[in-house]
Amino acid sequence: MTQSTGINLAVHGMNCAACVRHVENALKSVDGVEAAFVNLANAKAYVTLQPDVQVQEELLVKAIEQKGFNAHVLTAENELTAPAAAQQALNKEAQKKKRQFIFAAILTLPVFITDMGSHLIPPFAHWLHSHITTTQLGIWQFVLATLVILFPGRDFFTLGMRALLSRSPDMNSLVAIGAGSAWLYSIVALFTPQLLPLGANHLYFEAAAVVITLILLGKYLEARAKGQTGEAITRLLRLQSHTARVHRKEQWVDLPIDQIAVGDRILVRAGEAIPIDAIVLEGQSHVNEAMITGESMPITKNPNDSVIGGTINGNATLTIQATHVSSQSTLANIIRLVESAQATKLPVQNKVDAVTAWFVPIVLLVAAVVFLGWWLAGPSLNYAVVTAVAVLIVACPCAMGLAVPTSIMVATGR
């Protein structure tokens, strides 16, 4: 009986459940693909191919790139280092989001204080307007809110508009439309108020700036959480040796771990980590195998006994013979099992997928209906805009896309 084969890919640029759905649909559209599952938390795609069908890996990468994301295939060689690279990328992304949030908060705080402070504290409003005119205040708010949109909030608009143009709106699209609508409406109210109905020339620069700032805060917390939950595999990788002292051409030389072949003789001094799964050829020592068995007492190893890569040699030098290459070692298989557990798609995620497939289009439709309804029957145009923008802003599906995979990562890490 033939078996289905699989291909794993690293996918970069996803940030919500809608992104996951777009990547999965792109992969499933490739001929020969039986199933595809994308994990937002560890930024990987797991593709199962139909039996006896050959699929070019480049087609899978191209399908993902056509949706606006970056991807590369994970091989047996680079898959072991991929978690560490992914962890570095997550940490870098968290720092980037932190900088964006701080920058946005510095720009947004004056807009928020001058606008909402005037509403909440009447004496502050009198003092403020005695020093600056309403038009001047509006211009300052316009400048600061525009800086928030152009710099820390730019990703929402570039990614959101690109998703809209590709007819696959996502969370960025909701933020871009919501904050952008408030910003554009305020520009019209500030510079050409005659175009609006009487009494509708209210400014909502603070809404656009505050929304982007708060969502950037959420993005930073999200990126930090993803980085923390991905550290389990990184800690496993730290157990691996990077080099080994191998007997080649009648001499001992230090070689990278990925250059060790089955049958190579390796010298392991006292206190060193055993670099690869092997059997003992010469020597007797005690080996700490707690990382595998949890047993704190070292195990005595004699010739012909097996040793596991990543365990610690104790009080004597051992000469060992490699029985596996690095990509097939016990530690490598543990890492794959952990990642496999994190990649498992639970039944509840199928329900989430069904919801997110229609979530963003329905939200856009609801916002349009709310806008038209309040415009035709409500008190004013500005009220209709505010209510429609509120619908767009609160309806971000990030939590649905991250809840299950992040909880799985935390559980397997522990």
pLDDT in tens, 74-107: 875 565 556 666 667 777 888 999 999 999 999 9
CA distances from 293 to 289, 296, 324 (A): 6, 8, 20
Please give the average per-residue pLDDT across 211-233, as a whole number.
76
| Percent over 70 (pLDDT), the chain | 82
> What's the CA gap between 285 and 189, in Å, rounded?
81
> What's the CA gap between 39 and 206, in Å, rounded?
35
- 60 pLDDT band, cuts 50/70/90, is very high
Please give the average per-residue pLDDT across 243-259, as a whole number.
89
- 319 pLDDT band, cuts 50/70/90, is very high
Q: What is the pLDDT of residue 1?
A: 41
> What's the CA gap between 290 and 187, in Å, rounded?
65
pLDDT(46) > 80? yes
Which range of 38-52, 60-74, 87-101, 139-153 scores highest in mean pLDDT? It is 139-153
- The residue behind tokens 């050409």 is 192
- 357 pLDDT band, cuts 50/70/90, is low
Range with the poorest average pLDDT among 98-102, 235-239, 246-250, 297-301:
235-239
> Does 94 or 147 have the greater pLDDT score?
147
Q: What is the pLDDT of residue 246?
A: 94
Please give the average per-residue pLDDT across 319-348, as a whole number.
77
Instruction: Share the mean pLDDT of the chain.
Output: 82
Phi (first) and psi of residue 337, to 5 degrees = -65, -40
> Does 140 or 237 have the greater pLDDT score?
140
Q: Among 302, 293, 288, 280, which residue's Cα sits nearest to residue 330?
A: 293
Q: How many CB atoms lie within 10 A of CB 254?
A: 9
Which range of 121-125, 131-135, 320-324, 407-411 scores highest in mean pLDDT? It is 320-324
Please give the average per-residue pLDDT across 239-255, as a whole number.
87
Range with the poorest average pLDDT among 180-189, 260-269, 352-361, 362-371:
352-361
Q: In residues, how long is the chain?
A: 414
* Residues contacting residue 166 through CB under 8 Å, at least 6 positions apart: 67, 68
pLDDT(309) > 80? yes
Q: What is the pLDDT of residue 403?
A: 65
Q: What is the pLDDT of residues 277-291, one digit of tens each?
A: 999 999 999 999 887
pLDDT(23) > 80? yes
pLDDT(19) > 60? yes
Instruction: Give the 3-state DSSP-derived string for the chain, with helices as H, strands as E and coil as C.
Output: CCCCCEEEEEEECCCCHHHHHHHHHHHHCCCCEEEEEEECCCCEEEEEECCCCCCCHHHHHHHHHCCCCEEEEECCCCCCCHHHHHHHHHHHHHHHHHHHHHHHHHHHHHHHHHHHHHHHCHHHHHHHHHHCCHHHHHHHHHHHHHHHHHCCCHHHHHHHHHHHHCCCCCHHHHHHHHHHHHHHHHHHHHHCHHHCCCCCCCCCHHHHHHHHHHHHHHHHHHHHHHHHHCHHHHHHHHCCCCEEEEEECCEEEEEEHHHCCCCCEEEECCCCECCCCEEEEECCEEEECHHHHCCCCCEEECCCCEECCCCEECCCCEEEEECCCHHHCHHHHHHHHHHHHHHCCCHHHHHHHHHHHHHHHHHHHHHHHHHHHHHHHCCCHHHHHHHHHHHHHHCCCHHHHHHHHHHHHHHHHC
Which range of 83-92, 189-198, 346-355 scores highest in mean pLDDT? It is 189-198
